[in-house]
Structure 1
Amino acid sequence: MRLLSSGPINRPNKRKSRSSAYIFPALLSTNPYSLARTVLQLQVLRNGGNSKEEEAGSKMNPILPQKRTASNDVVSSPKLPLYFTAPAMEVRLEEFELFAIDRLRVLKGVSDGLARGRNPIEMDNLVGDLWKKNMRLSDVSEMINKDIISHFVLRLVYCRSDELKKWFLSMETALFRYRFRLQNLESQRATVGEFGLPYKAVIGAELESLKEKLWQVARSLGQTPPTDEPIYYKVPFEEVPDLVASRRVLLQKGYAFVAGSQLVSLVVTQFRSHLSKALILTNRKWTTTIREREKDRLTPIVEALSTSYLGPDYSQSNEYADISLKDIDQVSKSSFPLCMRHLFEKLREDHHLKHGGRMQLGLFLKGVGLKLDDALAFWREEFTKKVGSERFDKEYAYAIRHNYGKEGKRTDYTPYACQKVISSAPGVGDHHGCPYRHFSEDNLRAALGRMGLSSRGMEDVMDKVKNKHYQLACTLTFEAVYGTSCDAGINHPNQYFEEAQKVLKPKTPTALV
């Protein structure tokens, strides 16, 4: 399986030996001894096992390829992993990367489901399907290992900025919530027990005095008061903010009375609190130790994963990727996503784009099938209206050929995915980036109006923009423009183009002979 990244990643040659290297999730441990031991073990590995460090490290369980067993694994358990500490196990670098990609698919699926407003039952089904497709392994012990390893890798990936931390914290918490809901009662109790919560069930006279009020809350939620003796927990109200906000608990004297069936809210709050603190510690460790120490091996992987594109490869032509110069203006209006349509219009208007815009639009056009000769002619036609042919050949033609893999290292560059476009930071005079993120509200509304969105459709899009669901805003734009659903969501500008072409130019089935 190949990591499809948004744009080229310059990874050092030292990583060529990655298949024989190990990296420890203990790098992420909050225990200073674990970190020191891990750093020593990594140094032993780099030195080929012929050093004084190896001799010293042998007294502290040095790295050795060995079969995983229950003694050094997280063994099968009915409770969910809570990721309090990283396990002491060896992890190959390819697993480090691939496990993280699989978990990232799950988290992005959860994000899309929540952004689309799926109800709890639909989310239960979605999470179950996502987990089965991406994380399930036949061996239970190996599956638990993958779960824990992938979490700690992504914790390292997403600790590096406030925006990344916020997304990861929200999605991991949501994933935990729905996985907890999917457990049976025994497993839920085991998971709750791991938190060591100090809350006791309300019993006796206190319960009797509250029963009528508790029943009123139950009836307001459309529930029938239980016939058996109910279980309620007395909890400080600030520890169940979601239940308080939705008025699903009885509040009295600073306490919320949480039904046993609502226990998920209590454990989710604890999970989120722990993970939030852990991300701060991980960020501190990343900036002070890991980033520099692992600059030739882990750092390139970690920095690439947060903007990784996990969908189809649009660097190669397909049946819908075949445009020519004579069609390009018409196709730009009918099939380009807003980010590329805006760049195209600005190029036609100003006869120039800065480097970021040239890269974003140029690689997109390459991905939709514009041949190199046509690309050179296209850019020459516009730029020479300002700079002249000689300057174009000297300053710009080389870069175009380079993007097509015909110059320099002959790298075949890939079109930018949405995550890459969204994470860019256009400056003054730049036109690249994601309009849903970087446009003002007035400019975005005007652009959507030119694409033909109705008032209702525009408000739906703007609602997603305000909540920072930029890819879903693009998806809703697609659905409004073409009158068809896009359940997979838009994750790549070239995907938008391809899906638009499928609507506008449906392929007729070949007749059977």
Structure 2
Amino acid sequence: MEVVRSQRISTPKNDVVSILPLYRSAPPLEVRLEDFELFAMDRLRVLKGISDGLSRGKKPEDMDKLVGDLWKANMRHTDATEVVNKDIISHFVLRLVYCRTEELRKWFLSMETALFRYRFRLENSESQRTIMAEYNLPYKAVPTAEIESVKDKLSQVARSINWTLHIADVIFYKVPFEEVPELVANRRVYIHKGLAYVAMNQVVSLIVTQFRSHLSKALVLTNRKWTSTIREQEKDRLAPVVEALCTSYLGPDYSQPNEFGEISLKDIDQVAKSSFPLCMRHLFDKVREDHHLKHGGRMQLGLFLKGIGLKLDDAMAFWKAEFSPKVSAERFDKEYAYSIRHNYGREGKRTDYTPYSCQKIISSTPGVGDHHGCPYRHFSAENLQAALGRMGVDSRAVEDVMDKVRNRHYQLACTLTFEAVHGSSCDAGINHPNQYFSDSQKILKSK
């Protein structure tokens, strides 16, 4: 799409921008570094919300509402004339972010295609035909006389998919059947001599195929440019932002205690059992069992405890008491006390460190003897099933969790665990261990 055309602003129903950008080429715009990152993060919230909805198996009508809500909540701009620019810039920034590996490309391609599908369906017929023309598709509307000759066949298809439209009022296009694979697979189209009769309201399938094909090729080309020139040229400015964005945590940082205030040492065993996510419960049990944790485990659990409201003095007392069977008081003060104070911003740069997000925990690589990381990713299937059983997850829910794990939807697996343990839905999904704790406490206190 030419960027000039994309500057035309119109805000129809649902606040979605018409005419839909096709992202043919990057816009010749100057972008502030802060906008470069913020626009990308806003769009990433939309794509991750779509990913979560699809992973949960939401119905198409529910997905439509979800995508609409996500778009309206995240892709606005204080300046209405910049709405389309934000849309285009954010797409190309994330294209740069997600071009770098096959796994990243696959995820981005699927999510952007799902977003494009939703937005195309919202366009009016005139805009949809304009977009078809942009792709130079060699298809013309089927003449009325020909429609009349196959009217009965088209009507049979319409009845089978519960159409209420009158065939005579519908524009149809004839296309090679292999260009609309999803319509063929779902038996939603009439095929004659290798050609599918695609109704105007089904054209989305045809356009989405074109969009996906173009974006797939573009991601490969972008990866070549990234590895050959951009990464080195921008190693001090853009590269750190680009490389961090795909694992960015987009929610609250939980550096301060939640609304339930402080957690005292006398309560810690009770809340660990009732409200700790599996990753933190495992670390808590291990420190009680082994009276020691390596650095990665101490950081992951220590910052989590800080985030749920354990004060510095209590944190110092907790770690000192747990380590005491193996570590003398003198050695503890010498080797461990500094790092605890450091996490609370009382040493070194006086930085108030934030608890680890799910993304950071999942991407960690625990070694031999380590107990940090994400159990859904790093545990064996047998160990994970046993751990879920100890949390009180029933066998049916365990199988659902394991299915998500096998498909590498680790945060969704944690969300299903939360729902099974608490008997309550978590539509937003679990994105942070401290969110798990906070949501758990809300449910328990409401009861």
TM-score, scaled relative to structure 2: 0.90
1:70-109 matches, within 5 Å, as 74-76=7-9, 78-109=18-49
Q: Which has the higher contact order (CA 8 A, sep 6+)?
A: 1
Q: Secondary structure at the match of 2:168?
A: coil
Shift of 1:403: 1.5
Change (3 A) 1:453 1:208: same
Q: 1:480 to 1:88 in 2, by over 3 A?
A: same
Counterpart of 2:111 in structure 1 is 171
In the alignment, residue 193 of structure 1 is paired with which amino acid? Answer: A
- 380 and 115 in structure 1: CA distance in 2 versus 1, 3 angstrom threshold: same
Deviation at 1:436, TM superposition (A): 2.1
Whether 1:316 aligns to 2:249 is: no
Q: Which residue of 1 aligns with 2:82?
A: 142
2:47 is the counterpart of 1:114: no
1:76 maps to amino acid? I
Alignment-mate amino acid for residue 120 of structure 1 = P
Q: Name the amino acid aligned to 1:74.
A: Q
Residue aligning to 2:389: 449
Matches within 5 A, 1:219-258: 219-224=159-164, 226-228=166-168, 230-252=170-192, 254-258=194-198
After superposing the two structures, state which structure 1 stretch, 384-393 or 418-427, moved more: 384-393
- Name the CA shift for 1:378/1:198 in 2 (closer, same or farther; >3 Å): same
Relative distance call for 1:468 and 1:254 in structure 2 (3 A) is farther
**Match in the other structure for 2:224:** 284
Q: Secondary structure at the match of 1:411?
A: coil
Aligned partners of 1:321 and 1:498 also within 8 Å? no
Instruction: Tell me, in whole angstroms, the C-alpha distance in 1 between the residues paired with 2:272 and 2:386.
Output: 17
| Equivalent residue number for residue 440 of structure 1 | 380
Shift of 1:268: 1.0
1:204 & 1:504 partners in 2: Cα distance? 64
Tell me which residue corresponds to 1:328: 268
8 Å CA contact 1:181, 1:264 repeated in 2 = yes
Could you report, residue by residue, the CA deviation over 1:298-321 in whole angstroms, capped at 9, with x for unpaired residues?
Answer: 122222222222222310123324
Deviations 1:40-66 (A, max 9, x none): xxxxxxxxxxxxxxxxxxxxxxxxxxx
TM-score normalised by the chain length of structure 1 = 0.79
For the residue of structure 1 that corresponds to 2:22, the secondary structure is coil
TM-superposed deviation, 1:152 = 0.8
Matched, 1:504 2:444: yes
Q: What is the rounded CA distance, in whole Å, between the counterparts of 1:420 and 1:241 in structure 2? A: 38
Selected match of 1:392 from 327, 332, 341: 332
Match of 2:238 among 281, 294, 298: 298
Alpha carbons 1:364, 1:415 under 8 Å: kept: yes
Q: Give the Cα separation in 1 of the matches to 2:272 and 2:108.
A: 35
**1:399-478 → structure 2 map (5 Å cutoff):** 399-478=339-418
* CA deviation vs aligned residue, 1:178-227 (integer Å, no higher than 9, x gap): 11112222222222221111234444786566544433322221225734
Distance between the aligned counterparts of 2:191 and 2:404, measured in 1?
33
Partner of 2:13: none
SS in 1 for 2:198: strand
Bigger mean CA offset, 355-364 vs 433-442? 433-442
**CA pair 294-72 structure 1, distance change in 2 beyond 3 A:** farther
Instruction: State how far apart, in whole Å, the 2-side matches of 1:157 and 1:264 are.
Output: 27
Q: Secondary structure at the match of 1:258?
A: strand
Q: Structure 1 residues 223 and 118, CA, compared in 2 at 3 Å: closer, same or farther?
A: same
How far has the Cα of 1:92 moved from its partner? 1.0
Describe the superposition over 1:367-417 as per-residue Cα deviations: whole angstroms up to 9, x where unpaired. 111122222222233334334444433333222222222222221110011
| Amino acid paired to 2:222 | T
1:381 aligns with: 321
Asked if the contact 2:154/2:167 (under 8 Å) is kept, the reply is no
CA distance 1:321–1:425, shift in 2 (3 Å):
farther
Q: 1:453 to 1:108 in 2, by over 3 A?
A: same
Q: CA 1:264 to 1:102, structure 2 compared with 1: closer, same or farther past 3 Å?
A: same
Identity among equivalent positions (%) equals 75
- For structure 2, the 5+ residue unaligned runs are 11-17
State the Cα deviation string for residues 136-183 of structure 1 (Å, max 9, x = none).
236543110010011111111222222222221111111111111122
SS of the residue 1:235 aligns to = strand
2: CA distance, partners of 1:198 / 1:505: 62
User: Is residue 258–residue 307 contact of structure 2 (8 Å, CA) maintained in 1?
Assistant: no
**Deviations 1:90-133 (CA, angstroms, capped at 9, x unpaired):** 11111111111211122122222222332222222222222222
Amino acid at match of 1:133: A
Which residue is equivalent to 2:93?
A: 153
Matches of 1:455 and 1:73, distance apart in 2: 52
Structure 1 distance, partners of 2:346, 2:147, is: 77
Cα distance in 1 for partners of 2:103, 2:295 equals 26
Any idea what SS the aligned residue of 2:52 has? helix
Q: 1:288 to 1:381 in 2, by over 3 A?
A: farther
State the shift of 1:271 in Å.
1.0
Structure 2 SS opposite 1:490: coil
CA separation of 1:250 and 1:227: change in aligned 2, threshold 3 A: closer
> Alignment length, in residue pairs?
439
Please tell me whether the aligned partners of residues 74 and 87 of structure 1 are also in contact (alpha carbons under 8 angstroms). no
